Structure formats: C-alpha cells, structure tokens
Amino acid sequence: MSLFGSDVRQHDESVWERILPKCSTNTIFITPWWQATWWRIFGDGRIPKVQTVSLDEDVIGMIPLLPSEKDTTFIGDSSVFDYMDFPVVADRELDFFELSWPYIDSMNWSNLRLESIPESSPTLTHLVEIARNNGHEVSVTESDKTPYAELPEQWEEYLLSLRKKDRHELRRKIRRLDAGVKYRQYEPNNKVEMMDEFFRLMKLSSDEKSRFLINENKIFFTNIAAELTRRDQFKLFFLEIDGINVAACICFDYGGKFLLYNSGYDPEYSSLSIGLINKAFTINTAIEQGKSEYNFLKGIERYKYHLGATDRSVFDIQVSR
C-alpha cells in the first residue's frame, strides 16, 4: 500500500527510498515515510505530486511537491521539518534540475515556496539560476541556523575539543550530580508508551514549547516515534533523579549521525543543569556508537555552543511568476 494513498504510486515511493543513500541531499526529513507521516495529519485534503526523474534509464532524483493554486511547496512544514529538499543523486544535480524544471514550471502555482534548504544544497544554485533564466522573480533568504558538532572517536577527545571554560563547566556539572541519577535510553517496545512523559517534560520547559504542543503536533510526534522506531532510527533518552524523570531528548539516528530533534526538562531541577547534561550524555552515546556528527538542528540556543556546536544555515527560496 502506498504511504500517500492511491494518489502516489507505490513504485515511486520504493524508488525514492532506494536512491536516498546515493543522494547529496539525503536527510531523514526528505524520506517518503517522514513526509507521508506529516501529510496524513496536516495535508488538509491537498494531493501530493511525486515525480521520478530519470536520465538514460537511471533514476537521478525525485520531485515531491504539494501543489495549490497559490503556493506550491515541499511536502511538509518548516515548523517540524528542520531540512527540506529534493532527493537528488550526487553528481547528477545539474541534470536533475534541467530535466525537472519544465515539470515544476507546468504546475499551476503563483508562488513556488521552498523552505529550510541546507546551505550546501544544489537547489540553492541550480534551481535558482534556472528559474531566473526562465524569467521568474526569485528571492533567497537565510531563515535559520542548524548548529552541529563533528564527533571524534572518544568522549575525552570530544571534551578536549570544547573551549576550556565550557569543558571545565561541563565536567563540573556532571560531577555535581549524585549517585541517584540515571540516564536511560528506551528500547523500541516502550518508546511510544513514553511519549506522554516526554510531552510532560517538553511542556514544562517553556511557554513556547507548551503552545507548540497542540493535539496535531502531539499526534505527529507519536506517529513519527512509531514509524522511526520500526526502522531503528528513533532514540528517546531520559535523565532520572531519585526515580523521577527530569529531562528528556528525542534524537534520530540517520546516515551515521545523531540529530537532536526536541527536548524537555523540569525547571524545578534547572539549578543542576539537567537539560544540558542530558544532551551531553546523548553526545557521549553517539560517540560510543561511532557516529560522525551530532546535529543540534534548528535554533541558536546558547547551550549548543557550550557543547561545541558550529553553525550551518538554512535558506528559503520563493519563485514568483
């Protein structure tokens, strides 16, 4: 059965999934299962268009778009997608956009609005140039940062890579926690059951996160947990003090990297820096599992730089007729 229902061929989805490891643009957010999970909740009756692009009988990319008469967009929403893009096979990017543009341009839109595109994406060069050469007005704006840290092979190496003050503070804060502290990763059979506990801590963290947790977003998070648990890509971590969960993190394990998707903590324990420490422990777990990178995803929260993050940018493209 098609992830998107009868309007998208199952063959296109299987091809999409098959080429992802070859794509220069590959992230968990441009997988068909992530986008279909979003569409089933937020699609609002709109019909996705998924087109396979081939050259000399080789598939070189996919066009997954959500059209409307006003704005045609990627399948998704930048409020819950940190990256959005076209899946394009590496070294075939120019061919892909030259072949794709007539199809994209033929769709009935006033604005082509493409959000959260990573700074390294070929979309920012090839699609922008082709659209301008075809007489369209194009704007490109930086919309956010997605800080990240490259990971060494050992935790001590990671600590030594931090600024001296940050390294000292992190070690001090970890030592300050007493023996009643536990750090746990939930196994696949009970991760989804623990999502309500995650929501409790996320809601406590800030008014902004509390407002974000509308019912549809909670359903989306829970469905993503179920889907990615099935694929062994979902990590749910808790920090526990005296039997009480005080901090939590959701990370994704994808492409040899950890991606920190969201987190929460109980402010009553904020003097112990529990949010920072729980995230540091997930970095340690990523190192122990041989991951090459820890991506903090969108936002320039200060703690990310205390944990050694370096900025990357994401951009929005708008093409107007």
Question: Of 42, 25, 12, 142, which Cα lies nearest the Cα of 87?
Answer: 25
3-class SS string, 39-80:
HHHHCCCCCCEEEEEEECCEEEEEEEEECCCCEEEECCCCCC
Q: How far apart are CA 279 and CA 285, in angstroms?
A: 10
Per run of 10 residues, the mean pLDDT along the chain (length 321 residues) is: 69 90 96 96 92 95 91 95 98 97 93 98 98 97 98 98 98 87 84 92 97 97 95 96 95 98 97 96 98 98 98 98 87
Output the pLDDT for position 69: 74
Q: CB within 8 A of 316, min separation 6: which ones?
A: 78, 113, 114, 115, 116, 117, 140, 141, 143
- Per DSSP, the residues of 134-158 read TT-EEEEEEEEE--EEE--SSHHHH
The torsion angles phi and psi of 171, rounded to 5 degrees, stand at: -60, -40
CATH topology of 5-145+315-320 equal to that of 148-295? yes
Do strands 234-241 and 71-74 pair parallel, antiparallel, or not at all (unpaired)?
unpaired
Instruction: Name the burial class of residue 190, with classes exposed (0-12), middle (13-18) and buried (19+) by CB atoms within 10 angstroms of its CB.
Output: exposed
* Helix, coil or strand: residue 103: helix
Largest distance between two CA atoms of the chain = 66
Give this prediction's pTM: 0.94
Task: Please tell me the distance from the alpha carbon of residue 48 to that of residue 62, in angstroms, as a whole number.
Answer: 13
Tell me which amino acid residue 312 is: R
Q: Which CATH class is domain 5-145+315-320?
A: alpha beta
Q: Where are the domains of the chain?
A: 5-145+315-320, 148-295
Instruction: State the sign of the Cα–Cα–Cα–Cα dihedral 111, 114, 119, 125.
Output: negative
- What CATH code would you report for 148-295? 3.40.630.30
In this prediction, residue 179 carries a pLDDT of: 72
Q: For residues 177 and 163, what is the distance between their CA atoms, to the nearest angstrom?
A: 22
CB contact set of 186 (below 8 Å; sequence gap of 6+) = 194, 236, 237, 238
- Cβ 142 vs Cβ 90: under 8 Å: no
